[in-house]
Amino acid sequence: MPDAERRPPPAFPLTILTGFLGAGKTTLLNRILRAPELADCLVIINEFGEIGLDHLLIERVDGDMLVMSSGCLCCTIRGDLIATLEDLLRRRDNGRIAPFARVIIETTGLADPAPILHTIMYHPYLMLRFRLDGVVTLVDAVNGAATLDAHEEAVKQAAVADRLVITKSDLADTAALAALSARLQTLNPTARLLDAAKGEAGAAALLDAGLYDPTRKTPDVRAWLNAEALATTGDHAHDHHGHDVNRHDARIRAFCLRHEEPIETAAFDLFLELLRNAHGPHLLRVKGIVALKDDPGRPVVVHGVQHIFHPPTRLDAWPDADHATRMVFILRDMEPAFVEGLFKAFAGLPAPDRADAAGLAANPLAPARGGLLA
C-alpha cells in the first residue's frame, strides 16, 4: 500500500524546556534523558557548548547530530527552527536517522517561548507532524525571586508553563522558598508545581502534559485545563490581598471563564477573532473546551498563544460529565472582566456590571490593580 506508506505517522509530542539563565536546564536534561520514557527522544538545543551532555555522547552522526548512550538523538538549531524541524523530519522519513517518537526543545535562558509555540501551532506542515505536549519552565530557588523582579521574560516563561519546576531548593532559605512557591502559584495557578531537589521532576512528571492521555489515546481535558486551580468567573485568582507585588507579576492575570449553556458558533468565532486580532499580544495562553449550539454533544477544544490559535478540534464526545464551556486565560495587561464582558456580549448575556463594562470598553487594556505598564 504505497499511499499508506507515504502517510505521515501520528503527530509527535513536543515539549518546550525553558527557564532563565542558571535555572538548571543542563542538570535536569542530563537526569531525565536517562529515563526509559525518553529512549526514542529527539532533543534540540541551541549549542552543544551550552549544555554538559558530553558524558552521554557515544556517536556523532554528522556535523550537528549526536546519538547518546540513552538512545536519544541530539541536534543543534541551525538558525531557523522551522528549517531545522523540517530537515529532521525529512531525515527521519528517509531513514537517514533513527526514528524518534518525541521531541524536546531547550530554549536559551533569555528566550520568550511564544515564538516556538507559534511555530508548532501555526506552520501548516509542522502542526500536522508535531503536537504541543507542554511547556516546562525551570526556576532557580536561590535566585528565582530576584530574576522574576528584574526580568519580565522570566515572568512570561513562568506564566505560560504547564509544569513549573523549582530547582536548587535544597540551597534556599525555607521562608524564601515558600514565598517563591506562592508567587509562582499566583502567577500561574494551573501549572503543576514540582520540586526538583525532592525528586518530583522526573521524566514521567514532566511529559504528557498535553490534552491527550497517551496511554488511553483519549482527551483528558480536566487535567489539561486544571481549572479547579483557578477561581471561576467573577472571583479571580490574582487578588493579591494588599501584598506588595512586583510590577511584572502585577501585569499577569489568570482566570477561568465558565458558561453553562452552548453558544452560537458564529458568536464564538467572532469573540475569538476580536480577542486574537485586537488584543493578541495580551493573551499569553488560552486553553478551553467549548459547547457550541450547532453540535452541543461534540465540544470544541481551543488553544492559543497570543495572536496564534491552533485550529479548533472537535471531540467525538464530552470527556467527562461536565458539559459546560471552560476556558482558562493567562493575560498580560488586560483585566479578566473585559474578557468576561466581551464573552457575555457575544453570548447574549448581560454584562456583570454595566459601569465597569463601560469603563473597560473604553480602556480594555487597563493594567491589573496595582500594576504598572512598562
- DSSP of 135-155: EEEEEETTTHHHHHHH-HHHH
Residue 301 identity: V
Q: For residues 232 and 20, give the distance between their C-alpha atoms in angstroms, rounded to a whole number.
A: 31
Query: With 50 as the cut, is the pLDDT of residue 1 above it?
Result: no
Q: What is the pLDDT of residues 177-228, one digit of tens each?
A: 999 999 999 999 999 999 999 999 999 999 988 887 666 667 888 888 888 8
CB 343 within 8 A of CB 259: yes
CB atoms inside a 10 Å sphere around CB 180: 22
Q: What is the pLDDT of residues 217-266, one digit of tens each?
A: 678 888 888 888 875 433 444 444 444 557 778 899 999 999 999 999 99
Q: For residues 288 and 257, give the distance between their C-alpha atoms in angstroms, rounded to a whole number.
A: 9
Q: For residues 148 and 154, give the distance between their C-alpha atoms in angstroms, rounded to a whole number.
A: 6
Beta bridge partners of 146: none
DSSP structural state of residue 50: G
CB 140 within 8 A of CB 20: yes
* pLDDT given at position 229: 82
Q: For residues 116 and 192, give the distance between their C-alpha atoms in angstroms, rounded to a whole number.
A: 21
Helix (H) or strand (E) holding 157: helix 152-159
Q: What is the pLDDT of residues 21-48, one digit of tens each?
A: 889 987 898 889 888 888 889 888 865 4
Q: Which is the CATH superfamily of the domain at 230-362?
A: CobW-like, C-terminal domain (3.30.1220.10)
Fold of 2-210: Rossmann fold (3.40.50)
Query: pTM for the complete prediction?
Result: 0.84
CB 373 within 8 A of CB 333: yes
- Out of 65-69, 322-326, 331-335, which region has the weakest mean confidence (pLDDT)? 65-69
Domain definitions of the chain by residue range: 2-210, 230-362
Burial class (CB in 10 A: 0-12, 13-18, 19+), 86: middle
> What ranges in 195-312 are assigned the alpha helix state H?
203-206, 221-225, 247-250, 265-279
User: Would you state the cell numbers that stand for residue 10, as one nine-digit string?
Assistant: 501520528
Question: What 3-state DSSP class applies to 369?
Answer: coil
* pLDDT given at position 234: 39
Residue with more model confidence, 367 or 230? 230
Residue 326 identity: R
Phi, psi at 366, each rounded to 5°: -60, 140
* pLDDT given at position 359: 44
Contacts (Cβ under 8 Å, ≥6 apart) of 133? 13, 14, 15, 102, 207, 208, 209, 210
Q: For residues 185 and 161, give the distance between their C-alpha atoms in angstroms, rounded to a whole number.
A: 11
CB 368 within 8 A of CB 237: no
From 163, 236, 89, 209, select the one nearest 73 (Cα to Cα). Answer: 89
